[in-house]
Amino acid sequence: MGLEIERKGADGACTLVVRGEVDLYSSPDLRSAITKAMPKFGGSVSVDLRGIPYMDSSGVATLVEGYRTAMERSTAFILLTPSQSVLKVLQLSRLDTVFTIRNEA
Amino acid sequence: MLRGYLVSQGERGQERRVPIGPSITLGRAVDCGFIIDDAAASRRHLRIATEGERFVWKDLGSTNGTQLNGQPMLEGVLKNGDRLQVGETVMRFEIEDITDEEPKESTTIFKETIVDWQQEGLGEQIGEKEERAERLLRAVYAVMNEIASNYEPCPLVDRILETTMKAIDAQRGSVVFAGEDKSTIEPCPVCHKFHVIQQGRLTHVEEREFHISNTVAHRVLKRGESLLFQDTDRDSELNVSASIMSLRLRSIICVPLRGKFGIFGLLYIDSDRAGHQYTHEDMLLTTAVGNSAGLALENATMHGQILEKQRIDQEIQHAWKIQEGFLVRQWPEGDGRFQVYGETRPAKTVGGDFYDFVQPDANHVGILIGDVSGKGVPAALTMAQLLAEFRQGIHRTSSPSAVLQILNESLVQRSPKGTFCTLCYLVLNVSDGHVVCANAGHHPVIGIGKNGVRVFGDASGPPAGILPTCRWKDTETQIGAADTLLLFTDGIVEARAMNTQRAGEDEIEDFGMERLCEALKGHYRSTPRELIERLNQKVMGFCAPVMPHDDCTLIAVKYLG
Grade residue B120 by pLDDT with cuts at 50, 70 and 90. very low
| Average pLDDT, integer, range B492-505 | 68
CB of A98 within 8 Å of a chain B CB? The answer is yes
A86 vs A6, B369, B455, CA distance in Å?
19, 23, 22
Higher-confidence position of A15 and A11: A15
Report CB contact under 8 Å: B460, A92.
no
Which amino acid is residue B342, in one-letter code?
A: G
Q: Residue B429 above 50 pLDDT? A: yes
Q: Among A57-71, B111-125, B350-364, B505-519, which is the least confidently predicted range?
A: B111-125
Report CB contact under 8 Å: A67, B459.
no
Tell me what pLDDT residue B78 has.
92
Q: Among B30-39, B97-106, B178-187, B350-359, which is the least confidently predicted range?
A: B97-106
Please name the residues in contact with A102: beta carbons below 8 A apart, sequence gap of 6 or more: A46, A78, A79, A80, A81
Q: Residue B376 above 80 pLDDT? A: no
Q: Residue B423 above 80 pLDDT? A: yes
Report CB contact under 8 Å: A65, B418.
yes
Q: Does residue B298 contact residue B329 with C-beta atoms inside 8 Å?
A: no
| Average pLDDT, integer, range B426-430 | 96
CB of A27 within 8 Å of a chain B CB? The answer is no
Name the E strands within B442-523.
445-449, 452-456, 475-478, 484-488, 496-499, 507-510
Tell me what pLDDT residue B340 has.
96
Q: Residue B516 above 70 pLDDT? A: yes
Higher-confidence position of B23 and B265: B265
Grade residue B503 by pLDDT with cuts at 50, 70 and 90. very low
Tell me what pLDDT residue A16 has.
95
Of B198, B225, B229, B244, nearest to B290 by C-alpha is: B225
Grade residue B362 by pLDDT with cuts at 50, 70 and 90. very high
Grade residue B122 by pLDDT with cuts at 50, 70 and 90. very low
| Average pLDDT, integer, range B69-90 | 90
Q: Of A57, A62, A98, which is closest to B467 when you measure between CB atoms?
A: A98
Q: A95: nearest CA in chain B?
A: B462
Higher-confidence position of A101 and B287: A101
Grade residue B103 by pLDDT with cuts at 50, 70 and 90. very low
Q: Of A7, A60, A69, which is closest to B417 when you measure between CB atoms?
A: A69
| Average pLDDT, integer, range B223-236 | 75
Grade residue B30 by pLDDT with cuts at 50, 70 and 90. confident
Q: Does residue B447 contact residue B426 with C-beta atoms inside 8 Å?
A: no
Grade residue B456 by pLDDT with cuts at 50, 70 and 90. very high
Q: Residue A69 above 60 pLDDT? A: yes
C-alpha angle B476-B482-B484 in degrees, rounded to nearest 5: 55
Q: What residues in A contact B508, CB-CB < 8 Å?
A: 54
Rounded to a whole number of angstroms, the distance from the CA of B418 to the nearest CA of chain A is 4
Q: Residue B125 above 80 pLDDT? A: no
Q: Does residue B109 contact residue B239 with C-beta atoms inside 8 Å?
A: yes
Q: Residue B495 above 50 pLDDT? A: yes
A91 vs A58, B447, B504, CA distance in Å?
16, 22, 33
For chain A, how many structural domains are there in total?
1
Q: B444: nearest CA in chain A?
A: A92
Please name the residues in contact with B229: beta carbons below 8 A apart, sequence gap of 6 or more: B213, B216, B235, B238, B244, B249, B251, B252, B253, B254
Q: Of A24, A36, A67, which is closest to B375 when you measure between CB atoms?
A: A24
Report CB contact under 8 Å: B373, A92.
no
Report CB contact under 8 Å: B417, A97.
no
| Average pLDDT, integer, range B435-440 | 97
- Give the integer Cα–Cα distance in Å for B108 and B234: 9
- Work out the burial of residue B127: count CB atoms within 10 Å of its CB; fewer than 13 is exposed, 13-18 middle, 19 or more buried: exposed
Tell me what pLDDT residue B240 has.
61
Looking at the DSSP bridge assignments, the partners of residue B456 are B445
CB of A7 within 8 Å of a chain B CB? The answer is yes
Higher-confidence position of B389 and B499: B389
Q: Of B371, B418, B550, which is closest to A64 when you measure between CB atoms?
A: B418
CB of A88 within 8 Å of a chain B CB? The answer is no
Tell me what pLDDT residue B416 has.
76
Q: Which string of b and e fits B232-253 if b means at least 16 CB within 10 Å?
A: ebeeeebbbbbbbbbbebbbbb
Q: Residue B236 above 90 pLDDT? A: no
Q: Residue B149 above 70 pLDDT? A: no
Q: Does residue A59 contact residue A30 with C-beta atoms inside 8 Å?
A: yes
Q: What is the mean pLDDT of chain B?
A: 83
DSSP code of B226?
A: -
Q: A72: nearest CA in chain B?
A: B417
Grade residue B459 by pLDDT with cuts at 50, 70 and 90. very high
Q: Residue B119 above 80 pLDDT? A: no
Size of interface A-B (CB pairs under 8 A): 64
DSSP code of B464?
A: B
| Average pLDDT, integer, range B429-440 | 96
**Percent of chain B with pLDDT strictly greater than 90:** 34
Q: What residues in B contact A68, CB-CB < 8 Å?
A: 417-418, 466
- Give the integer Cα–Cα distance in Å for B475 and B456: 9
Of A39, A60, A46, nearest to A100 by C-alpha is: A46
Q: Which domain holds residue A88?
A: 4-102
* Highest mean pLDDT, choosing among A56-70, B297-311, B315-329, B521-535: B521-535
Helix (H/G/I), strand (E/B), else coil: B174? strand
Q: A60: nearest CA in chain B?
A: B373
Grade residue A30 by pLDDT with cuts at 50, 70 and 90. very high
Tell me what pLDDT residue A1 has.
54
DSSP string, B358-426: EEEETTEEEEEEEEESS-HHHHHHHHHHHHHHHHHHTTT-S-HHHHHHHHHHHHHHHS-TT--EEEEEE
B167 vs B254, B281, B523, CA distance in Å?
15, 11, 81
Tell me what pLDDT residue B258 has.
85
| Average pLDDT, integer, range B135-139 | 70
DSSP code of B441?
A: B
Q: Of B63, B64, B463, which is closest to A93 when you measure between CB atoms?
A: B463
Grade residue B117 by pLDDT with cuts at 50, 70 and 90. very low
Q: What residues in B contact A92, CB-CB < 8 Å?
A: 441, 443, 459
Rounded to a whole number of angstroms, the distance from the CA of A105 to the nearest CA of chain B is 26
Q: Among A79-83, B236-240, B430-434, which is the least confidently predicted range?
A: B236-240
Grade residue B109 by pLDDT with cuts at 50, 70 and 90. very low
ipTM of the complex: 0.84
CB of A68 within 8 Å of a chain B CB? The answer is yes
Report CB contact under 8 Å: B441, A93.
yes
Q: Residue B389 above 80 pLDDT? A: yes
Chain B positions touching chain A (beta carbons under 8 Å):
63-65, 72, 371, 373-375, 416-420, 422, 440-443, 459-463, 466-467, 490, 494, 508, 550
Tell me what pLDDT residue B502 has.
46
Q: What residues in B contact A11, CB-CB < 8 Å?
A: 64-65, 72
Report CB contact under 8 Å: A92, B65.
no
CB of A69 within 8 Å of a chain B CB? The answer is yes
**CATH number of the structural domain spanning residue A44:** 3.30.750.24
Tell me what pLDDT residue B452 has.
92
Name the E strands within B39-80.
46-51, 54-59, 66-68, 71-73, 75-77
Helix, strand, coil % in chain A, rounded to nearest 5: 35, 30, 35
Rounded to a whole number of angstroms, the distance from the CA of B460 to the nearest CA of chain A is 7
Grade residue B234 by pLDDT with cuts at 50, 70 and 90. low
| Average pLDDT, integer, range B170-188 | 87
CB of A21 within 8 Å of a chain B CB? The answer is no
Tell me what pLDDT residue B510 has.
84
Higher-confidence position of B21 and B173: B173
Helix (H/G/I), strand (E/B), else coil: B514? helix
Higher-confidence position of B195 and B96: B195
Which amino acid is residue B82, in one-letter code?
A: D
Grade residue B266 by pLDDT with cuts at 50, 70 and 90. very high
CB of A32 within 8 Å of a chain B CB? The answer is no
Grade residue B506 by pLDDT with cuts at 50, 70 and 90. low
CB of A83 within 8 Å of a chain B CB? The answer is no
Tell me what pLDDT residue B256 has.
92
Q: Residue B132 above 90 pLDDT? A: no
